[in-house]
Amino acid sequence: MTATSTPQIEFMRNAGMPLTTQSRKTFTEVVAGERLAYDSLADFIPGVAPYEFATLVELLPGAGTVRVVMTVDPMHDDDWTQRLVAGRTNELDNLAAVLAG
Q: What are 55-71's pLDDT values in tens digits? A: 999 999 999 888 999 99
**Cα–Cα distance for residue pair 58/61, rounded to 1 Å:** 10
Which of 101, 21, 39, 28 minimizes the C-alpha distance to 75? Answer: 39
> Tens digit of pLDDT for each residue in 21-51?
778 899 999 999 999 999 999 988 889 999 9
Which of 51, 92, 56 minimizes the C-alpha distance to 75? Answer: 51
Q: Is 12's pLDDT higher than 90? A: no
pTM above 0.85, yes or no: no
Which of 75, 19, 73, 83 minimizes the C-alpha distance to 50? Answer: 75
Residue 92 phi/psi, 5-degree rounding, is -65, -35
- Domain locations in the chain as residue ranges: 22-100
